Amino acid sequence: MLYFSKLRILFISLFSFLFILIASSNLFKVDDGFFDKKINLGLDLQGGSYLLLEIDNDPVIEQKLQNLTSTIRNYFKDKDIKINNIKIDKQNIFFNVLDQNKKIIIETFEDENSDINPYYPTFKSHQLILEDTGLNFKVSFSKQGLIALKTSSQDQAIEIVRRRIDEVGTNEPNILKRGNNRILVELPGLDDPMRVKSLLGKTANLTFRFVTNDNNDRFGVDKLKFEDGLDEATVSKRIIISGDNLLDAQPKMDAQTNQTIVSFSLDRVGAKRFGKATSTGIGKQLAIILDGKIISAPVIRDTIASGSGQISGGFTFQSATDLALLLRSGALPAPLNIIEERTVGPDLGQDSINAGMIALAIGFLLVIIFMFVKYRIFGLITNVTLIINLFILLGILTLFEATLTLPGIAGIILTVGMAVDANVLIFERIKEELKDEKNNIIAFDSGYTKSRTAIIDANITTLLAAIILFFMGSGPVKGFSVTLGVGIFTTLFSVYFIARLFTSIYVSKNRNKEKLI
């Protein structure tokens, strides 16, 4: 029946009022923790920066092959098999062996349980391909292995990119995969992308190594330049600690020198290694190397056993803050190259907002006029319900701090049309019921009941389409599917609770009127 209990009326009223209040927080500045939420505007509405990053996986593949080269050499050394002329060229490992060892080499690589093939049996797609050409062997990743390696590298890169951007404090960044070696980054509201570009362009591979004058160092040596590009130093390849050992890094002011520094703290393993290295290396220079360049190379004056230290290098507070951010977020698995960038100005975004709002206002006004002319008082009820429906929809989006894009506004406009369509179906069904039923209350109740199946079926099919768009689409398409999906639920609520409540109140007071609709 059209009857509503007082408890149901109270629930409908409180629910509607709550979301109207939440939606209103977008228009006013509220300091309350619950009501200070707002709908975020997407890149196409408020402007911002668009970056397409490409992962350079060559260093990752090179590093994997370097590690495998050591494994091959040590493995066969333990078995008294001599590996000759082992080298890496064009992402392949080449080596040759004596003829009598050829069979053992082939059997070892083909054995799934062999220690030499670390990718068997858990990750068979990573298997290595062994080619035998005479006494020469070539070892390389399979096609599937390369894809898996690139996917893993991309997943790690996305996580670190997200950490770095979150540290900067950008609002609602959109970070998405593109293929298996690209990352799309959208930063709404960011007019100057230079700082973010600088942060994302650095691998942040941090190592601490001793400066040495011995070119015959048993670990090998590298000649590296200082960050200013003017001087260079010879450093041992032996890594004392790396960025993996860092627990935290923060910019600070040195009270003694009044210079900006980056203080850091190490995990237990790093603190132990650092303490041992500084105790045996007093008087030596310890080079602090970031992405292949020496930031500073202080002389060790005393043992540092506390697991904390500092990096100095003539930083400004901004550069120290950025370095600390890079170190906290971790090193990228591979370098990132910016292959496309666009900056959308706020004026374009405002034009889009204005165009969307004008379209919404015109559509809404035409609907209101049509419903009022066609159904009079019930058209007015529908119009009031539509406004409440919009507020509830905006309130839900606000509660979850959703990002609104131009397609999202299209989803809201479509919601208005769907809400009107449901009411038209109900009212037309009521007209059919009134032809055979003289009791207005029964006729109206039958109209709502008998039209329910058609309305729910239509909304379910639309909801399924919205769900498919959400999971299969990306970016603005998802924005459209979210507003459309939420709009379906708010439409059903407004039609069968709010509009029906208003209708029941009016019909109950005019039950004896001959023609209500």
Instruction: Express each pLDDT in 339-382 by its tens digit.
Output: 988 877 665 566 766 777 788 788 778 888 888 888 889 999 99
pLDDT score for 346:
62
pTM of the model: 0.62
Q: Give the number of C-alpha atoms closer than 13 A to the C-alpha of residue 100, restricted to the C-beta side.
A: 3
**d(Cα 380, Cα 362) in Å, to the nearest integer?**
17
pLDDT score for 493:
94
What is the rounded average pLDDT of the residues 464-488?
86
For residue 255, the SS3 value is coil
With pLDDT > 70 as the criterion, what percentage of the chain qualifies? Answer: 90
pLDDT score for 121:
35
The one-character DSSP state at 246 is E
Rounded to the nearest 5°, which phi and psi values hold at 285?
-90, 135
Write out the DSSP string of 149-184. Answer: HHHHHHHHHHHHHHHHHHHHT-SS-EEEEETTTEEE
Q: Please give the radius of gyration of the chain, using alpha carbons only, rounded to the nearest integer.
A: 34
Per the CB < 8 A criterion, the answer to whether 304 and 221 are in contact is no
For residue 33, the SS3 value is coil
* Mean model confidence pLDDT for the chain: 83
Question: Strand order of the sheet with strand 308-315?
Answer: 246-253, 260-266, 308-315
Tokens representing 516? Answer: 């209500």
Looking at residue 203, its amino acid is: T
Per the CB < 8 A criterion, the answer to whether 403 and 42 are in contact is yes
Q: For residue 122, is pLDDT > 50?
A: no
Q: Where are the beta strands (DSSP E) in 3-135?
A: 40-41, 48-55, 84-88, 93-96, 128-133
The string of pLDDT tens digits covering residues 386-426 is 999 999 999 999 888 887 877 888 888 888 888 888 989 99
Looking at residue 354, its amino acid is: N
The string of pLDDT tens digits covering residues 145-172 is 788 888 888 988 898 888 888 877 666 6
The string of pLDDT tens digits covering residues 126-142 is 445 556 655 678 888 87
With pLDDT > 90 as the criterion, what percentage of the chain qualifies? Answer: 16
Nearest-10 crossing angle of helices 377-399, 500-509? 150
At 489, the pLDDT band (50, 70, 90 cuts) reads very high
Question: Which residues fall within 8 angstroms of residue 457, CB to CB, at 6 or more apart?
Answer: none
pLDDT score for 259:
86
Is the model more confident about 3 or about 508?
508
pLDDT score for 317:
86
Q: Which of 174-178, 241-245, 282-286, 302-306 has the highest mean pLDDT?
A: 282-286
**d(Cα 148, Cα 152) in Å, to the nearest integer?**
6
CB count in 10 Å sphere of residue 361: 10
Instruction: Give the bridge partners for 133, in sequence order.
Output: 136
Rounded to the nearest 5°, which phi and psi values hold at 2?
-80, 0
Tokens representing 176? Answer: 């998405």
Closest CA to 296 of 333, 330, 264: 264
Tokens representing 164? Answer: 């770095």
What is the rounded average pLDDT of the residues 106-116?
70
The string of pLDDT tens digits covering residues 358-368 is 887 887 788 88
